[in-house]
Amino acid sequence: MKNNSTISVINYNSQNFEQKKISSLDDISQYQKSDETLWVVIENSQDIGTLEKIQEMFNIHRSTIKSISSPKQRPKFEQHKHYLHISFKSLISEDKEFNTLYEQINMLVFENLVITFKEKDNDLFDPIYHDIKKSKHHIRENKADYLSYTILDFIIHKYYDLLDTLDEAIVSIENSLINDEELKLTPIEIKRLIREVITIKRNTIPMNELMRELQECKSKLISENTQTYLKYVSNHLVHVTETIESHSEVLSKLLDIHSSIVSYKMNDVMQLLTLFSAIFIPLTFIAGIYGMNFEYMPELKKEWAYGIVWLIFITMPIVMLIYFKKKKWL
């Protein structure tokens, strides 16, 4: 079966580092040494041939392979006899308009091996690669469990970047409301952001449960030292979820504020139209009376009648405007 996945290996310990792409999973065996940590990154991870080969090589449970092959899995943690399975989403905002990119990531954590399955072929993990290359970086001093913590921590910090972009988008909407700019487009943008936030919550809130289960895990594959670091990640995640909830409330309130502004402006328009109607209804009434085609209308025979009508037409609106102004209706 044709292999459509891209496979990279990062092999390291405190003294040595090696990173390269391999064409076959069979090449992994040459890197598995007891004193080194091996990180295998498989991109385009839905390739069935690659998944079946991984299942065979590392004795992976079929349910794990099924989860990895599905890009719409909720974040979850599973403990097996000789490995841990961690599934979560990477969330990245691709522009200032806050259009979020979602990528499914699965990790299999063994004693000296981490296999990461990425849905897409991109440079997401480049900062981690760069850190591992540093000879004095603490990742080099630790094992596979610490690498898995590093990946989780990196993804959670990406959530912070996402929230910063969301915050900028919200500030932009607030400025639009304050300056009365593009009020017709504003509710569309708010509703789009609300939909984005709902999707983000759907992928980040379950991460709290994942982190709780990971901290409670008694597997020998996670050291006490790494458990301590995982608590920090969990605390960061709690802050992320709280911030998302806060932004969600802000967006709902902005939608209410927009509705209030539109209603207020509509009331202003209706008030103005009502005042104009109040001025012109009496004038229309008078014009209507003298526009009737009755033969016997005494005023029509008077020389001063036309001037009197015009005097009424001019005086009445002025008096009414002064009255409205005094009542502060204008």
Let me know the angle formed at the C-alpha of 249 by 244 and 252, rounded to the nearest 5 degrees. 125
Q: Is residue 291 part of a domain?
A: yes
Quick one: three-class SS letters along 133-183?
HCCCCHHHHCCHHHHHHHHHHHHHHHHHHHHHHHHHHHHHHHHHHHCCCCC
Q: Are 83 and 57 in a shared domain? A: yes
Buried b (16+ CB within 10 A) or exposed e, 95-129: eeebebeebbbbbbbbebbbbbbbbeeeebbeebe
Q: Is residue 11 part of a domain?
A: yes
Find, among 150, 78, 148, 141, the residue nearest to 113 by Cα. 148
User: pLDDT at position 222, please?
Assistant: 92
Does residue 291 sit in helix, strand or coil? coil
The low-confidence residues of the chain, meaning pLDDT below 70, are 1-3, 34, 95-97, 181-184, 330
Sign of CA dihedral 160, 162, 163, 169: positive
Q: Is residue 88 part of a domain?
A: yes
Q: Are 198 and 296 in a shared domain? A: no
User: pLDDT at position 1, please?
Assistant: 40
Q: Are 245 and 278 in a shared domain? A: no
Q: Is residue 185 part of a domain?
A: yes
Q: Are 190 and 168 in a shared domain? A: yes
Q: Are 167 and 270 in a shared domain? A: no
Q: Are 180 and 322 in a shared domain? A: no
Q: Are 278 and 303 in a shared domain? A: yes
Q: Are 105 and 251 in a shared domain? A: yes
Of the candidates 227, 261, 295, which is a domain's last residue? 261
Helix axes 144-178, 186-216, angle to 10 degrees: 160
Q: Is residue 21 part of a domain?
A: yes
Question: What is the domain count for the chain?
Answer: 2
CATH of the domain at 12: 3.30.460.20
Q: Are 115 and 73 in a shared domain? A: yes
Q: Are 178 and 292 in a shared domain? A: no
| Residue 114 contacts residue 39 (beta carbons within 8 Å) | yes
Q: Is residue 1 part of a domain?
A: no
Of the candidates 261, 281, 304, which is a domain's last residue? 261
The set of residues, in sequence order, having a beta carbon less than 8 Å from that of 19 and lying 6+ positions away, is 8, 9, 10, 11, 129, 132, 133
CATH of the domain at 296: 1.20.58.340
Q: Which domain holds residue 290?
A: 264-326
Q: Is residue 96 part of a domain?
A: yes
| Residue 9 contacts residue 19 (beta carbons within 8 Å) | yes
Amino acid of residue 252 = S
Does residue 304 sit in helix, strand or coil? coil
| Residue 201 contacts residue 248 (beta carbons within 8 Å) | yes
Q: Are 150 and 33 in a shared domain? A: yes
Q: Is residue 306 part of a domain?
A: yes
- The stretches of the chain forming alpha helices (DSSP H) are 48-58, 62-69, 126-133, 144-178, 186-216, 224-290, 305-326
Of the candidates 243, 261, 279, which is a domain's last residue? 261
Cβ-based burial of 257 (10 A; exposed 0-12, middle 13-18, buried ≥19): middle
Other beta carbons within 10 angstroms of residue 157's beta carbon come to 14
Contacts by residues 170-179 (CB-CB < 8 Å, ≥ 24 positions apart): 170/247, 170/250, 170/251, 170/254, 173/254, 174/254, 177/254, 177/257, 177/258, 177/261
> What is the DSSP secondary structure assignment for residue 75, as one 8-state letter?
P
Q: Are 271 and 255 in a shared domain? A: no
